[in-house]
Structure 1
């Protein structure tokens, strides 16, 4: 049986999260320190540890079948590569930034200016769409220093927290692209590997849904049960079980973690007591 070949970042911000999501999917990888290729012991998969910027070409060439990679890299280098799943981690944005001392009103202010970037293709497409012509200086790494040394009037780079921009007296003025880690698929993936990929996607979806959810249990007086159930945004309907104490029931359901505190406050006001919150490891829909 052929194995599904997956590329992940050799080191950096995507590496740990990529390994974690595979582990959460129940996939154990036998790899030692500094290995560039490893096998999973309980799933038909080979893992390739590659430089982030090289991964799109490996996908195009069919050296690997799938990869965990940032959308920003795919947009820059990944023509004709499809995205199977958005993974929800390593979120960032590709933005334009200018020195804080500059007066900036809109994108037209960059007409004829010098922009330093590691994302020339993304930047060219954005400027073309806005009808702006600028001079691009392509830099690999430390883009944010360019305005301070007189090399550029602005920069285009990835931004996560914005602290690097702040340290270099730059301010973000245009968000060109919002990015997160995705599961990308080679255009030349074969049928046998596609079947394995579908199994992997099933596992990943179960993990991602669980990460966004919380399982809650609470005690509810029966005379307030109807009002409490109306508050719950459960998957279908909550589970309601009678308690040993007459007039009370136990209510079980799943809620979205983003609405957690809002829902909990409403439940308390409606009369729910003894609310217990549990993490969910997997959720199969």
Structure 2
């Protein structure tokens, strides 16, 4: 598929950690993606003027910075590693997407005891994120040798390449399988939406804003619940104080129950059983907590 200048272009990971969740995000935003073959490097939305560029994750910042794609979905770790190599900003983070969370950590052989940061001084540290690691070392006043590797970082201590490693950790299973344990946090990451800082025409800007509005709604929906309850009017101050992250609720008188009202609120924080118990203790009854399918902010 050749590049269509009349459509918006979004760079996403072809395969790997963020690929499936990026596609699910777009699906939740109402986009119907035409499925290409396994080796396709592009895909098209049939109900929105958007083409997906399916590329390696570390190529996404370049595609966006150069204006080949107006938007991209990429891990913050990849974005920041790329940005640290630029003389000036060329790409802008628009939104955190709430998936693909992981941490860049320094790890040591699990036989090491009593680790302290100064122990890194003069040591070799293998990593696929040399710029992020160097920034961490400089920030902490540490002088260590950074050994850049493209992959298989966890093998470095076993092969005698380095005494420590600095790699992404989500569950820690890979480190554990290689006899390593995390000893220091370098950078926390999750998937983010980014856009080019190059000028784009009015049509592409309008398309991008429409997509961003949908994505913002998807993110807000995932983090929100709709709560409905009944309560005595006198209990309203206590109840509205308990409702987590709620904007001003809607309050409607209950027919046939003088002095009682129905309260409706969108809560943008987690609603736990403890929250419901506190609401009931404050006087609420008939409490309903419902998911929200769609929301436009």
Match of 2:28 among 24, 46, 50: 24
Give 3-state SS (helix, strand or coil) of 1:11's partner: coil
Q: Does 1:258 align with 2:270?
A: yes
Q: Deviations over 1:88-131 (max 9, x none)?
A: 21111111111121134432211111111111121122212222
Map of 1:208 onto structure 2: 219
Superposed displacement of residue 186, structure 1: 2.1
Are the structure 2 counterparts of residues 166 and 199 from structure 1 closer, same or farther at C-alpha, using a change threshold of 3 Å?
same
Q: Give 1:132-281 correspondences, 5 Å limit.
A: 132-192=142-202, 193-233=204-244, 235-247=246-258, 248-281=260-293
Aligned length: 285
Displacement after TM superposition at 1:233 (Å): 4.2
Please say if 1:9 is aligned against 2:13.
Answer: yes
Deviation at 1:234, TM superposition (A): 5.5
Most deviating of 44-53 and 186-195:
186-195
Mean Cα displacement is larger for which, 164-173 or 117-126?
A: 164-173
The reply on whether 1:76 has 2:106 as its aligned counterpart is: no
CA distance in 1, matches of 2:193, 2:67: 15
CA distance in 2, matches of 1:107, 1:127: 9
Instruction: Tell me, in whole angstroms, the C-alpha distance in 2 between the residues paired with 1:132 and 1:104.
Output: 18
Contact 2:36-2:42 at 8 Å conserved across structures: no
**SS of residue paired to 2:270:** helix
Q: How does the TM-score come out when normalised to structure 2?
A: 0.88
Q: Is the 8 A contact 2:106 2:182 kept in 1?
A: yes
8 Å CA contact retained: 1:239, 1:252: yes
- How far is the alpha carbon of 1:156 from its aligned partner? 0.5
After TM superposition, the score normalised by the length of structure 1 is: 0.91
5+ residue gaps, structure 2, are none
Contact 1:104–1:173 under 8 Å retained in 2: no
The one-character-per-residue Cα deviations of 1:123-148 (angstroms, maximum 9, x if unpaired) are 12221222222222222222112223
For residues 269 and 146 of structure 1, what CA distance do their matches in structure 2 show? 57
Contact 2:246–2:268 (8 Å) recurs in 1: no
For 2:236 and 2:142, locate their aligned partners in 1 and report how far apart those are by CA, in whole Å.
Answer: 60
Aligned with residue 70 of structure 2, among 61, 65, 69: 65
Partner of residue 90 from structure 1, selected from 88, 94, 100: 100
Once residues 121 and 234 of structure 1 are traced to their aligned partners in structure 2, the CA distance between those partners, rounded to angstroms, is 38
CA distance 1:163–1:245, change in 2 (3 Å): farther
CA RMSD between the two structures: 2.0
Secondary structure in 2 aligned to 1:145?
helix
> Structure 1, residues 65-94: CA drift from partner, whole Å, max 9, x if none?
111000100111234221111112111111
- Structure 2 vs 1, CA of residues 147 and 221 (structure 1 numbering), >3 Å: closer, same or farther? same
* 2-structure distance, mates of 1:126, 1:77: 15
1:49-78: CA deviations, max 9, x gaps? 111122122223322111100010011123
* Structure 1 residues 230 and 71, CA gap change in structure 2 (3 angstroms): closer
Label 1:151 to 1:209 Cα distance change in 2 as closer, same or farther (>3 A): same
